[in-house]
Structure 1
Amino acid sequence: MKKLVLAAAILCAGFQLKAQPKNIKHIVLIGCDGFGAYAIPEAKMPNLKQLMSTGSWSLKARCVLPSSSAVNWASMLMGAGPTEHGYTEWNSAVPEIPSAVKSQYGLFPGIFTLIKEQRPKAKTAVIYSWQGIRPLIEKDAITFVVPGPSGDNDNFCADTAAALIIKEKPLLTFVHLSEPDGTGHNIGHRTPAYYAELENVDKRIGKIVDAVKKAGIANETVIIVSADHGGTGKGHGGKSLDEVQIPWIANGTGVSKGHEIKDVIITYDTASTLAWLLGLKEPQSWRGKPVTEAFKNH
């Protein structure tokens, strides 16, 4: 009986190893602020839809509540929700609830803490358009931290991310783009202006995807595109599906092609997916689950 149990354990371990895609040396996470999943079917976004048609995707992933920025960017990068990491508002600069645990960097342990502790020689990069990202990242654990200049800086961030990917080829690159959130607030969601801005968002995504190809690392890279929240009218923070449902799109090495993900995805699953793909051990405090359905032989 003991031999049968041992054999079963070894067999299960073997399946787990097969489930994890191999040869992943780079991940690019593109976060688009205020990008409601509802908009994608009607949006003119050829670059994004190419990632979907040749990758895996869900338009029913969900943010945490409230459907606002800082609380969700923290959850995406920290693998847990606000009751664990403590950031609870759209512009949280410090946790309103004391973090359940803290890393050596004084924050709830995020994906960059894990990389620094377990892959200390790896290069990482964060390029962000909204200054509210700064309090949510472990700056001392990240190789390149580039804030965008004040004003309309999404083009700067896309250009900078592309240049860094080509020159430095980081293990993990996180790019935060402020649009279409700004247009949603100023003019409104589900407006012609909102859809027009998504065309610009798509061009920036395309520029980053092209950089991965130019860097010669496309066959060893996974690109993930997601958002912090959607919106309704000129705002967000509520409980409507337009506010809560976000896109989650994966493309690249080991990703199933043309596959709509049926599993439930919560934004903190993104960090868990990154850790799983990179072979990192997750802390006990994380609540996310890897989105294994997106990958072949999951």
Structure 2
Amino acid sequence: MKKIILLLMALGCFFTTANASKWKAEHVVMIGIDGWGAYSVPKADIPTIKQLMDSGCYTLKKRSVLPSESAINWASMFNGAGTEMHGYTTWGSRTPEIPSMVVNERGIFPTIYSLMYEQCPQAETGCMFEWEGIKYLVDTLAISHVAQAMGYNEQPDQLCCMAETYIKEKKPNFVAVCFDQLDHVGHVDGHDTPAYYRMLNTLDGYVARIIAALKDAGIYDDTIIILTSDHGGINKGHGGITLAEMEIPFIIAGKNVKQGGAFQETMMQFDTASTIACIFGLKQPQAWIGRPMTQVFSK
């Protein structure tokens, strides 16, 4: 029995190593900022984020799927398909209102986490968030570490602290860190207001701290960083068909990413999952309609 266990462990290490040899980077950190409209980027005091834009590639014209609301777009971001296919149709969907066209063995439309779990089972993956709704969209049973910042109203940097600790302790292969605070400001004070830009500046500081944690963990040079959003907004709302609500940033920088600046190719919300799958050499399921942004990579 002991020999069989050792053999299985060895095979697991072999398959992990074989899969990793296809990867463009050993680690991917995706930082999601809820309610971050692309219109704000040129005006915002976000030096860390703008440094990532200068050192990598980006578009300020990635479009959300419709309706341009939270659950719908976080789902599309993680699962490579649009509303009509995954079935989440409202801002706070917890289960698909329309039956998903396909589901995996855990009963959920296949997500990027599902692919990592099935094709790279030894990989360390994490999903960390402030808004509770995220956990209903990501196939939590396929993720190594799922955590919500429960008290961020009292401790605004709680999620950032949690991400720093997780990165230093576990050196995850893929982690998504999803901040909700900008969306709250958009609803209370309004989009494109001084309060909105103050919060963006605060979030830029959190991005800087996460980058510092990657360096402290010794994995920064083998990491790709992605920053993006679910939707933008106008006045104190979102969900409509204006470009201020639908156009969102996508920024990517790090190992094997070109210093290419703005790219002109079109990008949709569901292309995010496909681009992450491309980094890890994952086979995309037939149900996904996303396309990887291969033009951003140097190899």
Q: Distance in 1 between matches of 2:121 and 2:260?
A: 35
Q: Secondary structure at the match of 1:127?
A: strand
1:141 aligns with 2:142: yes
- Per-residue CA deviations over 1:247-279 (Å, capped at 9, x if unaligned) read 000010111114211100101101001111101
Q: Secondary structure at the match of 2:133?
A: helix
Q: Is this contact kept in 2: 1:26–1:220, CA < 8 A? A: yes
Q: Distance in 1 between matches of 2:65 and 2:206?
A: 26
Q: Distance in 2 between matches of 1:23 and 1:273?
A: 11
- Per-residue CA deviations over 1:23-54 (Å, capped at 9, x if unaligned) read 51110011000000000101000110010011
- Per-residue CA deviations over 1:36-82 (Å, capped at 9, x if unaligned) read 00001010001100100111011111110111000000000000001
Identify which of 267, 271, 274 aligns with 2:273.
Answer: 271
1:215 alignment partner in structure 2: 217
1:47 aligns with 2:67: no
C-alpha spacing 1:21/1:296, structure 2 compared with 1 (3 Å)? farther
Q: Distance in 1 between matches of 2:174 and 2:23?
A: 16
2:98 alignment partner in structure 1: 97
Q: Is this contact kept in 1: 2:23–2:280, CA < 8 A? A: no
1:247 aligns with 2:242: no
Q: Distance in 2 between matches of 1:151 and 1:164?
A: 17
1:127 alignment partner in structure 2: 128
2:4 alignment partner in structure 1: none
1:197 alignment partner in structure 2: 199
1:154 to partner: Cα distance: 5.0
C-alpha spacing 1:77/1:23, structure 2 compared with 1 (3 Å)? closer
1:283 alignment partner in structure 2: 285
1:161 alignment partner in structure 2: 163
Q: Is this contact kept in 1: 2:28–2:225, CA < 8 A? A: yes
Q: Distance in 1 between matches of 2:230 and 2:181?
A: 11
2:33 alignment partner in structure 1: 32
Q: Which moved more, 1:84-93 or 1:206-215?
A: 206-215
Amino acid at match of 1:31: G
Amino acid at match of 1:101: V
Amino acid at match of 2:76: S
The alignment-based identity, stated in percent, is 44
Q: Is this contact kept in 1: 2:23–2:281, CA < 8 A? A: no
Amino acid at match of 2:30: L
Q: Distance in 2 between matches of 1:258 and 1:137?
A: 31
Gaps of 5+ in 2: 1-20
Q: Distance in 2 between matches of 1:155 and 1:96?
A: 34
Q: Secondary structure at the match of 1:28?
A: strand
Amino acid at match of 1:72: N
Q: Is this contact kept in 2: 1:154–1:177, CA < 8 A? A: no
1:179 to partner: Cα distance: 2.3
Q: Is this contact kept in 2: 1:21–1:253, CA < 8 A? A: no
Q: How many residues are paired up?
A: 278
2:57 alignment partner in structure 1: 56
C-alpha spacing 1:224/1:159, structure 2 compared with 1 (3 Å)? same
Q: Secondary structure at the match of 1:176?
A: strand
1:236 alignment partner in structure 2: 238
1:256 alignment partner in structure 2: 258
Q: Is this contact kept in 1: 2:22–2:280, CA < 8 A? A: no
Q: Secondary structure at the match of 2:191?
A: coil
Amino acid at match of 1:222: I
Amino acid at match of 2:35: G
Task: Give the TM-score of the pair, scaled to structure 1.
Answer: 0.91
1:171 aligns with 2:150: no
1:227 aligns with 2:229: yes
- Per-residue CA deviations over 1:198-247 (Å, capped at 9, x if unaligned) read 11111111111111111111121100000000000000000001000000
Could you say what the CA RMSD is over the residues aligned between the two structures, in angstroms?
Answer: 1.4
Q: Is this contact kept in 2: 1:148–1:154, CA < 8 A? A: no
1:129 to partner: Cα distance: 0.4
1:12 alignment partner in structure 2: none
Q: Is this contact kept in 2: 1:34–1:231, CA < 8 A? A: yes
Q: Distance in 1 between matches of 2:25 and 2:203?
A: 26
Q: Distance in 2 between matches of 1:110 and 1:202?
A: 27
Q: Secondary structure at the match of 1:296?
A: coil
